[in-house]
Amino acid sequence: MGNVMSRIRVVAILLMLAPVAWAHTSLSGSSPADGESMVGSPEALLLEFPVPVRLVKVDLNTAAGADIDLGNYRVSGAARNFRIVLPPLPPASYRVQWVVMGGDSHKMSGSLGFTVEAD
């Protein structure tokens, strides 16, 4: 009987923790993709998440540390996909840093890098 009760407790704990694991999400895709090298500047940055999140912040910097102005992108509510129009980017290596908020109000962050090559 004790062994059965131990298994029931383990299953109950796993079921309680499952929503927490799903609430802490990460980036599931992007365009440009992490590590991508492309000829010419991309028109937009696309960020994709497996579950709806609220986009809190996106920063774009060159490898040398110069900030790229993304203008006044506006996001209303939670979504799985975000599209941010980019200014023309000269050939260089870039780093995107993002912060999102999940349904449990937990903030998550990450980054990705890409390179723009001359035409």
Q: Name the nearest CA neighbour of 70 among 35, 32, 44, 33.
A: 44
Q: What is the pLDDT of residue 20?
A: 42
Provide CATH code, domain 26-117: 2.60.40.1220
- For the CA atoms of 29, 100, 86, 33, what is the dihedral angle to 10 degrees? -20
Please compute the mean of the pLDDT values over residues 30-35 and round it to a whole number.
97
pLDDT in tens, 51-82: 999 999 999 999 999 999 998 877 778 999 99
- For residue 3, the model assigns a pLDDT of 65
Per-residue confidence band for 32, with pLDDT thresholds at 50, 70 and 90? very high
Q: In terms of Cα–Cα distance, which of 25, 69, 67 is closest to 48?
A: 25
pTM: 0.77
Domain assignments of the chain as residue spans, ordered by start = 26-117
Higher pLDDT residue, 46 or 24? 46
The per-residue pLDDT for range 3-21, each reduced to its tens digit, is 655 555 544 444 444 444 4
113/93 Cα distance (integer angstroms): 7
